[in-house]
Structure 1
């Protein structure tokens, strides 16, 4: 397999990296995340000007018609500097659902403003009483003539307090359908809060809230939600790769410059071996994430192939994030857990990514459940 990027993809990577480094290369992230909405609206608009926010959408919907490789490039650069902009949450997950299910009119009305940077989407899928499931139960939808209303609670909803439009899953007649809810809709209550990685989430309460059915059929959308979650999972894996890359680079630099007993720490063989193990772990998860991206883009990939690839990327990302985050802090010593030093913030973000759409143990259980469906192989004598 060829894991290298072409010239256009490298140009995209350099452009996004340059923009995000200017925005968050110093201490700007701390001041930006301290205030609402938790990310820089100016940087969000600049990403839109570069075409980043419309990358995965078709040109007729106001997008760029790019593939999953381009999404992976952007997610990696976001992770490299811990940029708080909701690219995966708004573009890949919520936008991906609209692109996959919405009518032509809905796609134009929702994805166009998102690609232009004038709108933020949020996917309201998680429920307090459920754990990482694509189906809805806690929010129900009721039809009244040609209109719909929603009742129930979604939490956590990433960037749900800021979102202009919510993409909501709701239970209908034993199945799951998707709805669009405007941020200023009546009967909608959003309570935002900071997460441990200084991101933003919200508790969203629907009380007879008007909603628009996403799509033009009454089909069960559970499979569509699972596909969107799988694609977002792979994007998060790339964001984690970017974060782990910076954590490793920062740790290696610290070992080269910090002295003890008159010599730099990289002269101690045991510490060098631990840093080398971090590098091996990083390269393994990087190749796994790239492979999963290729599965998403490959012709002939089935829905099961996409979900299985996402679970493999999820499991490897979980293991690698724990290993690299832990080692980065321990090799730095006490400074690694201080709020003033960035290594702890990278570990916090890696921990958050591990639990957003399903952790490593959950992915391993799902993969183990598929073992019986694979063809048997004759043992080599």
Structure 2
């Protein structure tokens, strides 16, 4: 088996490394640690223009059509100078979860603008008692007319302080189910805290917030399997 990078992969890694070194030295990360957002949306848009936010996604939604190998090369190169833009949170965690389970309309509504650098995503799956078990959640999604009402609390949500949309796991009668929820939706309360490396994370309280059935992606009860793939 050949583990050597091909020419395109080598070029991708070099391009991202050069960008990190020239456009985002480590001093920039230190400066942005105390910023309300924690990164620069203009730099995020530039990363979208360069095509890096679409690396693991299909061309049909504006992506590059690459594999996780290319995605890992981008992550590794950005990490050399601690580039603070939320590539892991938005592309790998939020984006790839949505890509696996969402339908075409949801991909167009949420993935395409994220790939362009216009928005970001956050995956709100972890709870105080769940540790690494994606099924050990207490957040509920109670059927209500043509939609659901979400109640519960999520902890240490990466990019949850600024993402336009949250990917939320909640239990329906069928099991763990995934929903797309606007961060500023009624019934969503976000509290900011710092992680051990100085970045920002969110504690999110869902207080009987109403979402439409169209906010659910994937079948009811399919969320745990999707999240397991993301965590792997």
TM-score of the alignment, normalized to the shorter chain, above 0.5 = yes
C-alpha displacement at 1:174, in angstroms?
Answer: 5.5
> Secondary structure at the residue paired with 1:209?
strand
Q: Is the 8 A contact 1:123 1:168 kept in 2?
A: yes
Residue 35 of structure 2: aligned partner: 35
Measured on the aligned residues, the alpha-carbon RMSD in Å equals 1.3
Runs of 4+ in structure 1 off by over 6 angstroms are none
Q: Is the 8 A contact 2:174 2:221 kept in 1?
A: no
Residue 318 of structure 1: aligned partner: none
> Secondary structure at the residue paired with 2:181?
strand
Residue 222 of structure 1: aligned partner: 224
Q: What is the CA deviation profile of residues 51-83 of structure 1, one whole-angstrom value per residue up to 9, with x for unaligned ones?
A: 111111111112111111110110111221111
Question: Which consecutive residues of structure 2, in runs of 5 or more, have no partner in the other structure?
Answer: none
The structure with the largest strand share of the pair is 2
1:176-325 equivalence runs, <5 A: 176-211=176-211, 212-215=215-218, 217-230=219-232
Q: Distance in 1 between matches of 2:39 and 2:13?
A: 21
Residue 137 of structure 2: aligned partner: 137
Residue 325 of structure 1: aligned partner: none
> Secondary structure at the residue paired with 1:227?
helix
Residue 93 of structure 2: aligned partner: 93
Q: Is the 8 A contact 2:26 2:83 kept in 1?
A: no
C-alpha displacement at 1:23, in angstroms?
Answer: 2.5
Q: Is the 8 A contact 1:181 1:210 kept in 2?
A: no
Q: Distance in 2 between matches of 1:214 and 1:106?
A: 8
> Secondary structure at the residue paired with 1:157?
strand
> Secondary structure at the residue paired with 1:151?
strand
Residue 161 of structure 1: aligned partner: 161
> Secondary structure at the residue paired with 1:81?
coil
1:69-148 equivalence runs, <5 A: 69-148=69-148
Residue 51 of structure 1: aligned partner: 51
Residue 18 of structure 1: aligned partner: 18
The structure with the largest helix share of the pair is 1
Q: Distance in 1 between matches of 2:207 and 2:169?
A: 15
Q: Distance in 2 between matches of 1:184 and 1:210?
A: 12
Q: What is the CA deviation profile of residues 318-366 of structure 1, one whole-angstrom value per residue up to 9, with x for unaligned ones?
A: xxxxxxxxxxxxxxxxxxxxxxxxxxxxxxxxxxxxxxxxxxxxxxxxx
Q: Which fold has the larger relative contact order, with Cα–Cα distance below 8 Å and residues 6 or more apart in sequence? A: 2
C-alpha displacement at 1:204, in angstroms?
Answer: 0.1
Q: What is the CA deviation profile of residues 166-194 of structure 1, one whole-angstrom value per residue up to 9, with x for unaligned ones?
A: 00000112610000101220011001122
> Secondary structure at the residue paired with 1:127?
coil
Q: Is the 8 A contact 1:53 1:116 kept in 2?
A: yes
Residues 218 and 82 (structure 1 numbering): CA distance in 2 closer, same or farther, change over 3 Å? same
Residue 175 of structure 2: aligned partner: 175
C-alpha displacement at 1:26, in angstroms?
Answer: 5.0
The structure having more radius of gyration, on CA atoms, is 1
C-alpha displacement at 1:134, in angstroms?
Answer: 1.6
C-alpha displacement at 1:40, in angstroms?
Answer: 2.1
Q: Distance in 2 between matches of 1:151 and 1:56?
A: 32
Q: Distance in 2 between matches of 1:92 and 1:25?
A: 23
Q: Distance in 2 between matches of 1:166 and 1:17?
A: 29
Task: Report how many residues are paired.
Answer: 229
> Secondary structure at the residue paired with 1:18?
helix
Q: Distance in 1 between matches of 2:196 and 2:188?
A: 25
Deviates more, 1:39-48 or 1:180-189: 39-48
Question: Which consecutive residues of structure 1, in runs of 5 or more, have no partner in the other structure?
Answer: 231-381
